[in-house]
Structure 1
Amino acid sequence: MTKEEQLLQNRLIELSEWAYSRNIAVYSDFLGLNEQNILHSTPKGLFASSYTLIGGYDNPERQMARFSPDALYYEEISPPLQVLAITPVNKRFAEDLSHRDYLGSLMNLGVVREKFGDIVITETVTYIFVTREIAAFICEKLSKVRHTSVKCQVLDTADIHYEPRTQEISGSVKSVRLDAVLATAFPLSRSKLTPLIEGGLVYVNGKLITSNGYSLKDGDIISVRGHGRLKYLGSQGTSKKGKQIIQVLKYI
């Protein structure tokens, strides 16, 4: 573990202790996949209180850790999470903006990465999930993304109704191994998937997995750096040749 990773682990343990000692729910900043892996890999006995993850919608990639005491009654506060709804001022002259364009505009404002979560681009609006403390600042300062003039509105997560676009894919595999399921979802051979897995680019439910033969469970969320995400839905039976027929939900 690097010095930076150790500092993050210590910080997460400290947040869990605050939740326990103060009898309140305590939240971290947004955690990427590497940070979530540190969280999940930390022995549970080091945390004084339990945790869950939130990111503003179903199955986000970047998430906050919410530490809460195990007592039946404790002080609950609203999650420090809001959503920015970004739309072009004039749709006629709007560019086709990418995730990188929005990311660059936020960085140019001096906003550090841990203060905002997923950037979700739809046909009509872009949602950016942010910590409550910087929501108003970004909306005040963000007037352009690349060359497109934009307007911004601060919303609570309950005010949006976003469902990711998905594609359901079926396939047959000898066993529910990680590499076999990934080969069903992505147009890559097993030989090309192996370096991705062994190279530390594949996460299951936020935990780094480096074994090709890792056995998946129904509902597991798999993230492959540079290729996308999918949800393993489970086995639907066996084929005449004795293979398992599986279904996955690919986020597109």
Structure 2
Amino acid sequence: MGNKDFSFIPGLSDDEKILLRNITDKYEKAQQIYRPLYTFFLDERKQQLAQTVLASIKAEGFSFYGGYENAQRKILAVFDEYSRPENADFPLKPVTFTYRSVDRLTHRDILGALMSLDIKRECIGDILVGDGKSCTFVYETVADDVLSVSKIGRVGVKVSEGFDESVVPLVSFKLINATVSSLRIDGVVSAAAGVSRDKASALIRSSLVSLDHKEVSSASQKIDIGGVFSVRGHGKFELESCRETKKGRINIVVKKYL
């Protein structure tokens, strides 16, 4: 079904091609067996790639869910016209960690603790870090392992199944101020990631930079205020503001998510 070398999508990695073949195979099988099939958790780029490929084969039976509204990492369900799944049918479980408010845990602390259990990243959804309480969503096959956790780093935690909607994520970031000659993506990446302009261009040529979840294919591409970009190995950023100087250059403020 369709073009399974996905040559119509530039810059795909081998792993992404394998993922997309798996998705189209699942879609075909779901039509044959009349029940939904699911992927593991997909990040935002992979969700977009999945939507592109499913649209290319005119698929209508698919949906995404990550455990709560506005989740970033989501599971994809593919299904036939008679078996659309409800959110409760997705193979994920919410888990809440509680601990003393004086103990500070980060997204990295929690992710590291889960992956130390030999849980693959694709089995872990969003991690919401709050004050004395954090929540994550995991694939149902690893939920028992996660529920057995009693310590994250040096912090003792209590673990329970369920999503505590009172958890307000503590978003951590730092602001980077820089001056660039234009809003070309290579210049902004150079300033944000702290690398040379040549290195930024090389990262773009190597398909390691994405803007608003789309791979950047040209170093001359422009970025607008509010644009969210990721640089593999350097992090996730957002162009928060910019203003032109008297000398015709541009002062920018970039938010780096920590």
Q: Are the aligned partners of 2:61 and 2:84 in contact in 1 as well (CA < 8 Å)? A: no
TM-score (norm 2): 0.66
* 1:156-182 deviation line (CA, Å, top 9, x unaligned): 374533252344555543332112222
Taking structure 1 as reference, are residues 249 and 4 closer, same or farther at Cα in structure 2, changes over 3 Å only?
A: closer
Match of 2:55 in 1: 44
Task: Compute the displacement of 1:48 (Å).
Answer: 0.4
Which secondary structure state, in structure 2, belongs to the residue aligned with residue 179 of structure 1?
helix
**Cα distance in structure 1, aligned partners of 2:54 and 2:24:** 10
* 1:77-104 deviation line (CA, Å, top 9, x unaligned): 126355422234x778x6x766565445
**Cα distance in structure 2, aligned partners of 1:156 and 1:167:** 28
Letter in 2 for 1:228: G
Q: Are the aligned partners of 1:20 and 1:48 in contact in 2 as well (CA < 8 Å)? A: no
Letter in 1 for 2:50: L
Letter in 2 for 1:45: S
Q: How does 1:186-225 map to 2 (within 5 A)?
A: 186-225=193-232
1:240 aligns with 2:249: no
1:173 aligns with 2:177: no
1:115 aligns with 2:123: yes
Aligned residues: 244
Q: How does 1:147-158 map to 2 (within 5 A)?
A: 148-156=155-163, 158=165
Match of 2:87 in 1: 78
Match of 2:257 in 1: 251
Task: Compute the displacement of 1:213 (Å).
Answer: 2.1
1:8 aligns with 2:23: no
Which secondary structure state, in structure 1, belongs to the residue aligned with residue 188 of structure 2?
helix
**Of 182, 185, 193, which residue of structure 1 is paired with 2:192?**
185
Taking structure 1 as reference, are residues 215 and 52 closer, same or farther at Cα in structure 2, changes over 3 Å only?
A: farther
Q: Are the aligned partners of 2:130 and 2:168 in contact in 1 as well (CA < 8 Å)? A: no
**Cα distance in structure 2, aligned partners of 1:23 and 1:214:** 44
**Cα distance in structure 2, aligned partners of 1:178 and 1:2:** 21
Taking structure 1 as reference, are residues 114 and 40 closer, same or farther at Cα in structure 2, changes over 3 Å only?
A: same
Which protein has greater RCO, CA pairs closer than 8 Å, 6+ apart? 1
Identical counterparts, % of pairs: 27
Q: Are the aligned partners of 1:37 and 1:208 in contact in 2 as well (CA < 8 Å)? A: no
Task: Compute the displacement of 1:31 (Å).
Answer: 1.8
